[in-house]
Amino acid sequence: MIKLFRIDERLIHGQIAIKWSRHTGVDSIVVANDNAASNVMIQKSLKMAAPPGVKTVIKTIDDAVKTLNDPRCEPLKVLVLVNNPEDAVEMVTQVSGVPFVNIGNYGRVAPKKPGKERVRLDNNLYCDEEEVVAFRALLETGLECIYQTTPEEPAIPLKKLIP
């Protein structure tokens, strides 16, 4: 069962390992990211950052979809991480059981695209025009989408932030 589906450009880091994993009580983390899945060094770094005792796998988007739709995944308490809104749209339209989408940190450290300027939508949320389109597509899935960097902060509906 997916407990939390989160967009966070840093994937696994302190907020994930300490705050979100404890807050949600997960026993597994699935990082869905094509780049990380093909880079052993990134995989090792992410697994080192993962909380102890929480099984962590790093998969391509396609493999993550297959894993999360596998009935053997149902008894697990899973935190799913993607690092951009485009991958989130792809995942939530193919994976059943996503309860809602949590958007944390996005756009401050993500590589900038040539000729695309990001605008600040909130403290840790910056988007260019293409990313705004992807976030709108995410809202169109009908899933609740919230912006919340840590569990202690109030959740803000994404539709209030996206122009």
Domains, the chain, with CATH or none: 2-158 (3.40.35.10)
* 110 pLDDT higher than 80: no
User: Given this model, what pLDDT does residue 112 score?
Assistant: 78
Q: What percent of the chain has pLDDT over 70?
A: 100
User: Given this model, what pLDDT does residue 163 score?
Assistant: 78
Question: What is the pLDDT confidence band of residue 109, given thresholds at 50, 70 and 90?
Answer: confident
* 162 pLDDT higher than 80: yes
* 118 pLDDT higher than 90: yes
Question: What is the pLDDT confidence band of residue 111, given thresholds at 50, 70 and 90?
Answer: confident
Give me 67's structure tokens: 């894993």
Question: What is the pLDDT confidence band of residue 16, given thresholds at 50, 70 and 90?
Answer: very high
φ, ψ of residue 3 in degrees (nearest 5):
-90, -35
For tokens 């000729």, what's the residue?
Answer: 115
Please write the tens of the pLDDT for every residue from 133-157: 999 999 999 999 999 999 999 999 9
